[in-house]
Amino acid sequence: MHYKCEKCNKLWYYPIKNCIFCKEKIKRIIPRSFNVKALTEVNSPSFGHEKVPYYVLLLEDEFGNTHVKKSYKKYEIGNELDYNKKGKISASPIRYDPYEAIERTTRLLEGFDINNGTKTLIRVDLLNFKFSLLQYLVEFLIDNNTKKDNIIIVYDAEEENRLLTKFDIGSLGIKTKKLDKENLHDANLVINLASVDSKKEFDSKSKSLYILFSKIRGNIKNQHPMLFASFNHKILKDALKKLDQGKEIDSITGEEIEIIKDSLMA
């Protein structure tokens, strides 16, 4: 994702709000397709990248901007990056901009099917709740044609006090409701939003996270569980591994979890 001043034509790779040259508002540039411009096979392990070989791709998007990306899949120069695998859980690290992570998780799921009539329900996991992530998700949905009135934030009844006293949910201008089966079935789109920020946090909350992903599935279509971590790939990797291993809980629904990961997580 890039940030561009359309007046000055300056480009940033960091989330910038206003242009330092002309003070204009910055526009987010969201690329959708990536071609491999160059690549290298890395054979030297380093901390955080112990498994070799891996590939570092220099990708060019449809705007002509380039990106560096790690991959365990071998590509050839000129190949298009393969993001097209459907799944039930999408996970992405947050790099500099949570908005980018949200955009990326939707891309991993082939995007949301959203129109201005889509009733969207965001289920928040308060044990791992990041208010800013919720703010960005709402912004993303509105940017993608969801009507504000059609968005509902739901939460477990026992967590009501925490949600309403600790966070300024009202500032979002979005309806909130306690979670029940009815409001789940009324929705066209259900997003399970969770974040993991520390290993300790994940260790203590992994069960609830897992349940969050598993118990809501089943009869509901258009569910998009999303998991985020504050750019700590290792924690997110560990989280995904634990979810992968949680088959006994998954048997409640009798479904196999298919986790679609950003290729960073592979």
Partner 1 sequence: MYILGIGRTKFGVLPESIPEMMYASIYRALDDANMDVKELDAIFVSNFIGDSSYNQAHLSSIASTLLPDTNLPSFRVEAACAGGGVALHLGLNTLHKYKNILVIGVEKMTDLGSMESLRSVCSATDLVLEQKEGLVFPAAGALVSQQYMKKNNVLLKDLNLVALKNHENANLNPYAHFYGKKVTEDMINNSPIICSPLRLFDCSPNSDGAASVIISNEKRNKRAVKVAASEMATGNIHLAIEKDITHFPATRIAGEKAYKAAGITPKEINFAEIHDGFTAMEMSSMEDLKLCKPGKAKELVRNGITKLNGELPINMDGGLKANGHPIGATGIAQVYELVTQLRGEAKKRQVPGNIGLSYTFGALVGSASVHILRG
**Using CB under 8 A as the criterion, which residues of the chain lie in contact with partner 1 when the complex forms?**
11, 13, 37-50, 54, 56, 58, 64-70, 93, 95-96, 231, 233, 264
What is the closest distance, in whole angstroms, from the C-beta atom of residue 32 to partner 1 in the complex?
17
Q: How far is the CB of 98 from partner 1 (least distance, A)?
A: 12
Q: Angle formed by the axes of helices 199-215 and 233-245, to 10°?
A: 40
Which of 107, 217 has the CB closer to partner 1? 107
Nearest CB to partner 1, comparing residues 81 and 212: 81
Written as six digits, the tokens of 158 are 């026992």
Closest CB to partner 1 among residues 39, 154: 39
Closest CB to partner 1 among residues 49, 177:
49
Dist. CA 137–CA 31, nearest whole Å:
18
Cβ 236 to partner 1 shortest distance, Å: 11
Give alpha helix (H) positions in the chain: 98-108, 131-143, 160-166, 181-186, 199-215, 233-245, 247-250
CB of 103 to partner 1, least distance (A): 16
